[in-house]
Amino acid sequence: MNLTPYYMTFHDPLWIILLSTALFFPVRKLIWILYVRKKQKTQQSVSEEEKIGLKKRATITAILLCIVFSYIYVKQVF
């Protein structure tokens, strides 16, 4: 039984998904904190509504950033 086609098909996407998932939560938190601090410079306080909106924005940015970084990393290392 030759497993080479399965290895070539599933190896890179599996590692990209695993690395993206591992990076997502800390990256989202970091980006969210940076967004909130930037908003606090222009305002004295940030409301809960604004924090929720900034967290959604940070989530989208983190997803894109983690997937792109994971793809480039896996292609370079493996």
pLDDT at 9 over 90: no
Confidence bin at 24 (pLDDT 50/70/90): very high
Q: Could you give the percent of the chain with pLDDT greater than 90? A: 81
Domain count, the chain: 1
pLDDT at 8 over 80: no
How far apart are alpha carbons 22 and 18 in whole angstroms? 6
Domain, as residue range, for 38: 24-77
Q: Is residue 62 part of a domain?
A: yes
Q: Is residue 18 part of a domain?
A: no
pLDDT of residue 10: 87
Query: Could you tell me if 57 and 38 are in contact, meaning their C-beta atoms sit under 8 angstroms apart?
Result: no
Q: Is residue 46 part of a domain?
A: yes
pLDDT at 1 over 90: no
